[in-house]
Amino acid sequence: MLAPVAAFETYLSREEGLSPATARQYRLDVLALAAWLSAERRAVQAWEQVGARELRAYLQVHQAAPARTRRVISSWKKFWRYLADVEHLDMQGGPAELKSPKLPARLPKALTTAEVSRLLTAAKNQSSPDKALRDWTLLAFLYGTGCRISEVLQLTLEAVEVDEDQVPVAIRVIGKGDKERQVYLSPTAQRALQGWLKVRRKAGAPAGPYVFTPLKGAGAGQPFPVRTIEQATRRAGERAGLRPEQSTPHKLRHSHATALVEAGRPIEEVQEVLGHASIATTQIYTRVNRNRLRAAAASLPDVLE
């Protein structure tokens, strides 16, 4: 039953244009199911034999949180379609017969301007000059652009657009679904990128197309690993007195989006900046803004007698 799983991951990356991380997660979800079937449902020898009953039993045993359960069911649905359409197997309904749990409506909690400032100061104030430069630059750039961490780390030199004075003004990034979009740089992002490129040139540019790469050592020329930057963000957050859930690269993206909405930018512009395929995803930030406006109105004193 394991034979089609590796091919499934390759198909998702090449044919459907999913990011390597997303394709890998789909594969892991399917592998977990295959391992459970092998241990608990030994009579099942082929994917065509797996129906909704087996899938419900798996979910009952694992009792995952609603968000994880939804993701797992989504992974199974993609795998079932792949087996039917590409491998031409006669599949049962399986995951199509399952009902995904509803998720509670949760609004993203953005960092305040003061919290972002504390985080960036903490990133810069550390004993290693190289790490200080790397961490401050990347965190400032993440906040200043609102890009995903994967988009920033895969940014290439040729995707940086400059003006007549060779000052960076915009970047082209490849987002989800392999879609390219142009992101104009805020003053914060512009300053961070310009400073990094200057240091990069002085250090002797390492071979490779990536903007954000170690300037020396074995990793020179390759993008910084996502995990490395996530850990650096968490450590900077600890020094800044922020909670772990506040100290992630994605939190900086939320904070950028919230700042745009609070500055009065149209939701369509925010959608384009973030690279959301559906405006419904972006509209959650308008709810954040309405909540703050409601709180501001409630804080006014009642002057009526």
Chain segment 196-245, per-residue pLDDT in tens: 999 988 887 667 899 999 988 888 889 999 999 999 999 999 999 999 99
pLDDT at 107: 64
147 vs 298, higher pLDDT: 147
- Mark out the alpha helices in the chain (DSSP H runs): 3-14, 20-40, 52-62, 66-85, 113-124, 129-145, 149-153, 187-203, 226-239, 249-262, 267-274, 279-282, 284-298
User: Does residue 302 surpass a pLDDT of 70?
Assistant: no
In the chain, % of residues over pLDDT 70: 92
Task: Give the number of other Cβ atoms within 10 Å of residue 125's Cβ.
Answer: 13
Q: Write out the catalytic residue numbers.
A: 148, 176, 250, 253, 276, 285
Average pLDDT over all residues of the chain? 89
pLDDT at 114: 94
pLDDT at 286: 74
What CA–CA distance (Å, rounded) separates 204 from 22?
A: 34
User: Helix crossing, 129-145 with 249-262: angle to 10°?
Assistant: 40
For residue 59 the two structure tokens come to: 């979910």
Paired residues of 161 in beta bridges: 170
Largest CA distance in the chain: 78
State mean pLDDT over 53-76: 92
β-pairing, 180-184 with 168-174?
Answer: antiparallel
Label residue 275 by pLDDT band (50, 70, 90). Answer: confident
State mean pLDDT over 268-294: 79
1.20.1290.10, 3.40.50.1100, 3.30.70.3340, 1.10.443.10: CATH of 113-296: 1.10.443.10
Q: What is the CATH number of domain 3-97?
A: 1.10.150
In the chain, % of residues over pLDDT 90: 62
Paired residues of 184 in beta bridges: 170
What CA–CA distance (Å, rounded) separates 120 from 132?
A: 10
pLDDT at 277: 83
Label residue 78 by pLDDT band (50, 70, 90). Answer: very high
State mean pLDDT over 21-29: 91
- Specify the residue for token string 């550390």: 126
Domain ranges in the chain are 3-97, 113-296
pLDDT at 207: 73
Paired residues of 201 in beta bridges: none
State mean pLDDT over 140-167: 94
Label residue 297 by pLDDT band (50, 70, 90). Answer: low
